[in-house]
């Protein structure tokens, strides 16, 4: 939300507009970063640093005299058009437009014209429109009329605050979501009572809400079942920090139409919850699970009927999983394209070998925080995963320059993350310099890299993002050098 209040936007923008229209252009700036008020003003007049001069009278409008006047006018017009630069023509057009608006519309009329506001609001991003919608009811109504003004935003409700609203106020809030085309809903600190109120106050949610996120909530199995019964168009569900949800509740309420499910930090989720997911969601495309008590036995529940649908599997911090669990994954889900075993600390090189041999459609593999992974695992990956585009090896402390050498032979790899790989040295960077398709590289926290080694990364001309935070060998001079030679690359220091 902008630092300037919504009520002050119109007054300050109007004052600035008046000064500029009358030729009284001030030099004071209200904010170095650009507030919503400045954006409003600049949409009309442009920056005050570039005053617009009055346009010259077009030669075709000059009075015609003798018989040669047509020829002379045409010649003059052609010469003038060629002489005007693109920038000058833009300034001329802007001046003409302002003269037209000043001659035909007052400020109040312009600010109340739907046709103008609908184009005017397109100059702002979705977050800034949240401020503009509070200026007046007219602006709010215009903004609420079209979902395109709100793309990329997700309404997140703090249920503790929502309880202070009267029922009609809550109903109006829900109606505004429908007007703005929101199909995703986030609920924080929700209880069973909040779930029941949502069902009664928001009947249109049954067909308008496609994605639901419940975080840090005390909602129980009964409340979750009530919600999911009501949301008949729901196909994405996230439960994070919902410690009252049990495996029994998941068996009771999971609906076959769900294609994306995330279960994170729910203390009652264990092997039986995975069984419910495998049995009840035949069309599941993406499954993300972070549960400390899930074991290898849970992955036995997956069967070949999920093999055609499940493409993305993320198992985060499942500390009890071993290579036996990997065996179950590769046999039941051979068509995976994204696999994350981040924080599965018992996985070893043998497990990675199974993955490389059996999951050759993988495009993204995350082995971060797997301390038993060594260079041997990277050799398996380089040999067999020919379609891999993204590899994450953060905190794999046994990876050395030899392993990076194996990885450098992967022509398809475009993103590589080596954060806090404490044995990586400059020699390994020489291997990376041969990866011409590499676009994203993270070397954050690698303590043995020197400024000399890092400077060689300028050979990666196609790099779009380079992360070097917490690298002792990175200096200000190095960052300047990299930015000079990699002008298209975002260098993160």
**In-domain check, residue 17:** yes
Q: What is the pLDDT of residue 167?
A: 87
Q: What is the pLDDT of residue 150?
A: 93
Most distant pair of Cα atoms in the chain: their distance? 99
Q: What is the pLDDT of residue 108?
A: 84
Last residue within a domain, chosen from 112, 147, 182:
147
Last residue within a domain, chosen from 147, 163, 188:
147
Residue of 203, 220, 162 lying closest to 186 (CA atoms): 162
Q: What is the pLDDT of residue 307?
A: 84
Q: What is the pLDDT of residue 491?
A: 97
- Give the burial string for 387-411 (b: 16+ CB within 10 Å, else e): ebbbbbbbbbbbbbbbbbbbbbebe
Residue of 427, 423, 429 lying closest to 460 (CA atoms): 429
Residue of 476, 430, 477 lying closest to 449 (CA atoms): 430
CB 263 within 8 A of CB 288: yes
Instruction: Report the CATH number that the domain containing residue 426 is assigned in CATH.
Output: 3.80.10.10
For the chain, how many structural domains are there in total?
Answer: 2
What pLDDT tens digit does each residue of the chain (493 aa) get?
Answer: 444 454 555 565 555 555 544 543 444 444 434 556 566 656 555 554 544 444 443 443 334 444 443 333 344 444 444 444 565 666 666 665 555 555 577 888 888 888 889 999 999 998 899 999 999 999 999 999 889 999 889 999 999 999 999 988 998 899 999 999 999 999 999 999 999 999 999 999 999 999 999 999 999 999 999 999 999 999 999 999 999 999 999 999 999 999 999 999 999 999 999 999 999 999 999 999 999 989 999 999 988 778 889 999 999 999 999 999 999 999 999 999 999 999 999 999 999 999 999 999 999 999 999 999 999 999 999 999 999 999 999 999 999 999 999 999 999 999 999 999 999 999 999 999 999 899 999 999 999 999 999 999 999 999 999 999 999 999 999 999 999 999 999 999 9
The neighbouring-strand residues paired with 365 are 339, 391
Phi-psi group of 317: left, alpha or beta (phi > 0 → left; psi -120 to 50 → alpha; rest → beta): left
Give, in degrees to the nearest 5, the angle at Cα 194 between 188 and 197.
Answer: 140
**In-domain check, residue 481:** yes
**In-domain check, residue 274:** no
Beta strands in 308-457 (DSSP E): 312-316, 338-340, 364-366, 390-392, 415-417, 440-442
Task: Give the Cα separation of 374 and 398 in Å (integer).
Answer: 5
**In-domain check, residue 380:** no
CB 226 within 8 A of CB 219: no
Q: Which domain holds residue 93?
A: 7-58+88-147
CB 455 within 8 A of CB 481: yes
- Give the burial string for 267-281 (b: 16+ CB within 10 Å, else e): ebbbbbbbbbbbebb
**In-domain check, residue 209:** no
**In-domain check, residue 39:** yes
Helix, strand or coil, per DSSP, at residue 368: coil
CB 43 within 8 A of CB 17: no
Task: Give the Cα separation of 197 and 64 in Å (integer).
Answer: 76
**In-domain check, residue 116:** yes
Q: What is the pLDDT of residue 109?
A: 84
Q: What is the pLDDT of residue 191?
A: 96
**In-domain check, residue 458:** yes
Q: What is the pLDDT of residue 112?
A: 87
Task: Give the Cα separation of 388 and 413 in Å (integer).
Answer: 6
Q: What is the pLDDT of residue 259?
A: 97
Task: Give the Cα separation of 196 and 78 in Å (integer).
Answer: 72
Coarse DSSP helix, strand, coil percentages of the chain, rounded to the nearest 5 percent: 45, 10, 45
**Model pTM score:** 0.79
Last residue within a domain, chosen from 147, 169, 198:
147
């Amino acid at each position: 939300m902008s630092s300037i209040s919504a009520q002050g936007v119109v007054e300050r923008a109007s004052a600035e507009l008046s000064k500029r229209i009358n030729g009284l252009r001030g030099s004071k700036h209200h904010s170095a970063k650009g507030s919503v008020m400045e954006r409003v003003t600049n949409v009309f007049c442009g920056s005050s640093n570039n005053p617009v001069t009055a346009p010259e009278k077009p030669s075709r409008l000059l009075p015609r005299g003798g018989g040669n006047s047509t020829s002379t006018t045409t010649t003059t017009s052609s010469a003038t058009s060629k002489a005007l630069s693109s920038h000058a023509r833009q300034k001329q057009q802007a001046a003409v437009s302002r003269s037209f608006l000043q001659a035909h519309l007052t400020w109040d009329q312009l600010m109340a014209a739907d046709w103008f506001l609908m184009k005017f609001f397109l100059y702002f991003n979705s977050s800034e429109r949240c401020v503009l919608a509070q200026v007046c009811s007219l602006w709010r109504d215009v903004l609420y009329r079209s979902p395109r003004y709100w793309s990329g935003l997700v309404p997140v409700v703090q249920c503790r605050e929502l309880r202070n609203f009267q029922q009609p106020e809550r109903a109006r809030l829900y109606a505004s979501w429908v007007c703005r085309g929101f199909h995703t809903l986030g609920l924080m600190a929700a209880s069973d009572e909040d779930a029941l109120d949502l069902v009664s106050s928001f009947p249109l949610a049954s067909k308008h809400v496609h994605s639901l996120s419940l975080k840090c909530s005390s909602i129980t199995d009964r409340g979750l079942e009530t919600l999911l019964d009501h949301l008949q168009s729901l196909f994405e569900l996230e439960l994070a920090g919902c410690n009252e949800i049990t495996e029994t509740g998941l068996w009771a309420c999971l609906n076959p139409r769900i294609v994306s499910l995330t279960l994170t930090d729910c203390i009652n989720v264990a092997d039986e919850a995975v069984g419910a997911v495998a049995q009840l969601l035949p069309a599941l495309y993406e499954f993300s699970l972070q549960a400390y008590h899930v074991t290898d036995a849970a992955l036995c529940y997956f069967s070949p009927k999920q093999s055609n649908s499940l493409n993305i599997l993320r198992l985060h911090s499942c500390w009890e999983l071993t290579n036996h669990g990997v065996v179950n994954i590769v046999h039941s889900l051979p068509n995976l394209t994204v696999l994350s075993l981040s924080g599965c600390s018992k996985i070893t090189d043998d497990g990675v070998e199974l993955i490389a041999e059996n999951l050759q459609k993988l495009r993204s593999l995350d082995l971060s925080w797997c301390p038993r992974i060594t260079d041997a695992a990277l050799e398996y990956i380089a040999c067999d995963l020919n379609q891999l585009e993204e590899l994450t090896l953060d905190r794999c402390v046994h990876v050395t320059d030899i392993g990076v050498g194996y990885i450098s032979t992967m022509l398809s790899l475009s993103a590589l993350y080596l954060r806090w790989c404490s044995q990586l040295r400059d020699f390994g960077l020489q291997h990376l310099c041969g990866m011409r398709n590499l676009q994203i590289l993270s070397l954050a926290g690698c303590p043995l890299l020197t400024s000399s080694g890092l400077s060689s990364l300028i050979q990666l001309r196609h790099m779009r993002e380079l992360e070097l935070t917490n690298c002792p060998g990175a200096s200000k001079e190095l960052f300047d050098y990299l930015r000079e030679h990699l002008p298209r690359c975002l260098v993160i220091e």
